[in-house]
Amino acid sequence: MNPISAAVSLYLGHGLGPSPQEDASRLTSRFGYDAPHLENQVRSLLAELDKIRPDWNAHTLLSGSQWAVAQLRCAHPELDDDAGTALIWAYSWWWR
């Protein structure tokens, strides 16, 4: 897993609880001195994702979340499937 993909999952807390909980301290424990740089990258990705708006008349919550993350991943092919899953999870929570 590449560092940015791992950072996305860790920062959001994917697999650690029932809902996304942004926490940069998880990055520090895993990445040490690279954590601030990765945190900035993750925050930038999340801000970019937040600007992507599916046509909610054509999508369910899940399909719209998947579509939005697919758009983000087109622009950021470095994001792996694990990061994509974490981002879909977060995006769907944002729009509940």
Q: H helices within 1-96, ranges in order?
A: 3-12, 25-31, 35-50, 61-75, 81-94
Q: Report whether pLDDT(88) > 80.
A: yes
- Residues 67-84 pLDDT 10s: 999 999 999 999 999 999
Contact 27, 65 (CB under 8 A): no
pLDDT tens, residue by residue, 16-38: 999 999 999 999 999 999 999 99
Measured over the CA atoms of residue 17, residue 91, residue 83 and residue 32, the dihedral's sign is negative
**Cβ contact 78:3 at 8 Å:** no
User: What single-letter amino acid sits at 92?
Assistant: S
Residue 96 pLDDT > 90: no
Is the confidence at residue 93, as pLDDT, over 80? yes
Q: What is the pLDDT of residues 34-71, one digit of tens each?
A: 999 999 999 999 999 999 999 999 999 999 999 999 99
* Spatial distance between the Cα atoms of 88 and 24, rounded to a whole number of angstroms: 19
The predicted structure's pLDDT at residue 52: 97
The domain ranges of the chain are 3-94
What is the structure's pLDDT at 60?
96
